[in-house]
A and B are shown apart, each in its own frame.
Chain A
Amino acid sequence: MMRRKALGTIITVITVIIMLYELFYVNITKGGIGVKGAVSIDAALLASAFILILIGPWLWLGEVPVAIKKFVEAKTGRRL
């Protein structure tokens, strides 16, 4: 569990850094992310971030929030 959380945290932090770097630094200095009609490193990095931002926080925060679990337990009376 701890490993999973650590991996999730690392992925999330790296992904956020990539997004901020591409959207603010690369876009402002180059006037866009990537090259028209080609696959550039910048665009590939941002596209990877698009996928990784889904995985990182999920590994980090776990599957079911405690708030939802408790809510369901209270309503159904069954222990999850």
Chain B
Amino acid sequence: MNKNLLALAAVVLLAVVAPMVIPISIANEIIVIAIFAMATNLVIGVAGLYSFGQAMFFGAGAYLTGYSLTAGGLSLVPSILIAIAGAAALAGIVGAVIIRRSGFYFMMLTFAFNQMAFYVVLVWSGVTGGEDGMAGIKRAPVGGLDLNDRSVFYAFCAVLFVASYVILRQIKKSPLGLVLEAAKENPRRMASLGYSVHGAQLAAFMISGAFAGLAGSLYVLLYRFVPIDSISWIMSGNVVFMVVIGGMSSMVGPIMGAAVFVWLQGLFSLLWAQWALLFGLFIIFVVFTLRGGLIELFKRVARIRRAGEAHHG
């Protein structure tokens, strides 16, 4: 219980302190992408379903928000709600087709559906803007709050970020989360104990899709633009990378992973236009060095320090 409160306090502190120590636009992107990473951790880390198509839901949220705000003429809150519902529905449809597949199959199918979504967006350029993306998005005021103010918009995202953390962590600890984790170890036994394994997995997939949609929606509001990259498979790979480097054992890990990703992306893009090359090399480097995620790295550093202290003492 204490530990839970401590983790929550750390997450809130992070959201409050981040814009003070780093540029607020970067801090804002971090907390938005962190929602996406936590959502992905629900399927990958908790349920053990290796989804390589998460950008499909992030992108669905992004495009739905963009469309609702521009052509749809809706206000901000309904646009975000539509993004969440639409992404969850898409996850429900895709999930219903593929949830019975596991491991290798699941990975390939999520990727294939992601590519299909990308293709639809690319071809349907009259609505989506195709390769150029969707521009001209405005942040309409919400209940008297002027979201065009950077700090107000950050606070708006930060509240949703902390709420997402709390909800996703509670889901991880809920009976649903326990069924998912147990089914990851032994799906047959859980099924013979009378749990609906596929039902639980589909629910997790849809919840993950909903939060990915929320993240996509906020991302679009942040940049007032929907890039086609938001639905490309590279985005799906990136978020898997965030979850893996952050560590999958808690919802704090993906937040760290997202922070590292956004920070590195910014750094590499300053260094060289070909930043994706540096990023790819970094992924390869990390895969070989950090096998247990950042959390494992911290533990390792702590162990070394403790060993050092013991040595000196």
A-B complex is real: no
Interface residues of A (CB under 8 A from B): none
Residues of B near any A CB (own CB < 8 A):
none
